[in-house]
Amino acid sequence: MQVGLFIPCYIDQLYPDVGMATVEVLRRYGASIEFPSAQTCCGQPMANTGCVEDARPLAEMFLDIFSEYEYVVAPSGSCVAMVRHHYDEYLSGKPGFDELKNKTFELCEFLTDVVQVDSLDVAFPHKVGVHQSCHGLRELRLGSCSERVEPKFSKIEQLLRLVDGIELAELSRNDECCGFGGTFAVNEEAISCMMGNDRIRDHENAGTEVLTAGDMSCLMHLEGLIRRQNKPIRVMHVAQILAGRSIN
């Protein structure tokens, strides 16, 4: 499998080990990985803030850079959702765009749906609470939503259950927003923090030792709240757990 690796800007700048863990996991299943150095931000921050036209050149560049690969994989549900659900405004009708949408995957989605991983030679003897990010959940359908009458599922949890020694925390609300929302966390700081603290309280009540997710942006928000309140919960991206990282 030839994979063009797309790394979100905040992972590149602040959490590079998440990118390295993603590479290790993909290589374990035979992927040939290329990291095109010309890649930029997907444009989601601009689009979400209303600066729609500022995102257009980034969408066009994404198409130019990643069209050549068999698959495009990113450790971020929100960035992948931007490509698959919001690039139509900029790229509809352009050659290769429909193909690009169909071959762009979030990491856990790629592992479950394309690679069809059914075993992992990894141990993580900790109680792990999963945060289901909004974009991954409701735009990519990486898990079931409480507002829908449907069978319960989670592609992140499906992979984590293959990890030796892990225990998954049972939350009272397993699909609630953390309150980050990009610039929402800046413009509506008080509401954002209240929502984040609600999620952290749920994990505390469930006995979570390590809080994980498929989006480092959500985890960045939650980790900031956890750190400032000196809470014992640790935060790790799901790629780090799947790669066999020890608790940090």
Q: Is residue 149 a contact partner of residue 230, using CB atoms and an 8 Å limit?
A: no
DSSP 95-118: TTHHHHHHHEEEHHHIIIIII---
Residue 165, pLDDT score: 97
> What was the pLDDT predicted at 68?
95
Tokens found for residue 56: 């257009």
CA 228 to chain CA centroid, Å, is: 23
Rounded Cα gap, residues 70 and 51, in angstroms: 31
Report how far apart, in Å, the C-alpha atoms of 96 and of each of 63, 65, 102, 204 are: 8, 11, 10, 46
Q: How much is the pLDDT for 59?
A: 97
Buried b (16+ CB within 10 A) or exposed e, 143-154: bbeeeeeeeeeb
Residue 96 and residue 63 in contact, taking contact as beta carbons nearer than 8 Å: yes
pLDDT at 200: 96
Residues of the chain with pLDDT under 50: none
What confidence score (pLDDT) does residue 179 get? 85
Q: How many CB atoms lie within 10 A of CB 51?
A: 12
Q: Does domain 127-242 have CATH number 3.40.50?
A: yes
Nearest residue to 231 via CA among 243, 221, 223, 240 = 223
Nearby residues of 99 by Cβ (< 8 Å), 6 or more positions away: 67
Residue 215 contacts residue 77 (beta carbons within 8 Å)? yes
Q: Which residue's entry shows tokens 């850079």?
A: 65
- Output the pLDDT for position 155: 97
- CA distances to 11, 43, 210, 223 from 226, rounded to whole Å, are 19, 28, 12, 5
Nearest to 73 by CA among 29, 132, 43: 29
Query: Residue 183's pLDDT is what?
Result: 79
pLDDT value of residue 181 = 81
- Residue 17's pLDDT is 97
Nearest to 10 by CA among 215, 177, 238: 215
CA-CA-CA-CA torsion sign (158, 222, 19, 243):
negative
